[in-house]
Amino acid sequence: MNILFVADALELFQTYKDTTFSMMREAQRRGHRIVACEPRHLTWRSGDVVRAHVREITLTGTLNDWFQVNQAGLRALTEFDAVLMRKDPPFDSEYFYATHLLEQAQREGARVFNRPASLRDHPEKLAIMEFPQFVSPTLVTRDAEDVKRFHAEHEEIILKPLDGMGGMGIFRVGADGLNLGSIIETLNHHGTTTIMVQRFVPEIAQGDKRVLVIGGEPVPYSLARIPQGSEIRGNLAAGGKGVAQPLSARDLEIARAIGPVLAQRGLLLVGLDVIGDYLTEINVTSPTCFQEITEQMGFDVPAMFIDAVEAATAS
């Protein structure tokens, strides 16, 4: 197969942990051709199809200079057997525009994963609203008084922006309500921005579990991202420690209920975030943790993913 990866700049990859790199490595091991571009390289002109300025690469197997460019040029996305959208968040205006270009390519016959329209339809924090049976008490609002009433009811809460990533902008407020008003103002910008508020789940001490679902099927191991020191955030980007572990019965219940639903919508790869028994986010843009689970548990997550890509393009 010819596989196009739409991702961040290759020069910025941290290959020792990067999930997209692990996908590329497995694809090359199977003899597939690897091509890459950034979203900014996508282009469309009336009377033509969506094209991209791409680089066909070979992985060198070395830590530095990990890829070499075989050739570069402008190519139609329909020339590829699979187009994998792997641009990291944030989901900003440029990401949004890229999904529209990819959707046009899809109309022209390109096979794009995850499906561009579904990327737009599943904002990673708000997507949990569809599955309230798995969610802890949660409030989505702009209104400061709504937040204060929620706090009075649940006493210990977490507040976070809807467009945050990597644990950025997350606050914990205890029963004393210390600084609650200031935190609300910081996050909701005096009532102009919608935020999410959730009852604090103390099981965060055991980790914020990333449960991967590929082609509707759960990977049998999660990566528990465990907060360190005085932190409440388990995100690896915020200094959390990643510990792989088998899925719990509750993890499986959540993944088996949600995975097939999202797979039917063209979401080939999904990352569910679970704290204790509760679903907290549904990640669809660029789910990670392949390498950590593979290295710690010996389960080949990249192989499972490329299996799914091959099956999806063969159907």
Q: Which of 38, 251, 273, 292 is catalytic?
A: 273
108 is an active site residue: no
2 is an active site residue: no
225 is an active site residue: yes
87 is an active site residue: no
**Tell me, what amino acid is at 92?**
D
Q: Which of 124, 208, 251, 281 is catalytic?
A: 281
* Dihedral sign (CA 2, 38, 162, 192): negative
At residue 11's C-alpha, the angle toward residues 88 and 162, to 5°, is 15
End-to-end CA distance of the chain: 14
Q: Which of 18, 233, 235, 292 is catalytic?
A: 233
| Nearest CA among 249, 271, 248, 250 for reference residue 259 | 271
Q: Which of 18, 111, 283, 292 is catalytic?
A: 283
CB 268 within 8 A of CB 309: yes
In angstroms, the Cα distances linking 45 to 35, 42, 109, 261, 271 are 22, 11, 16, 35, 35
210 is an active site residue: yes
273 is an active site residue: yes
Q: Which of 160, 208, 235, 251 is catalytic?
A: 160
Q: Which of 51, 86, 210, 251 is catalytic?
A: 210
Q: Which of 86, 125, 199, 209 is catalytic?
A: 125
- Is residue 72 classed as helix, strand or coil in its secondary structure? strand
Active-site residue list: 125, 160, 210, 225, 233, 273, 281, 283
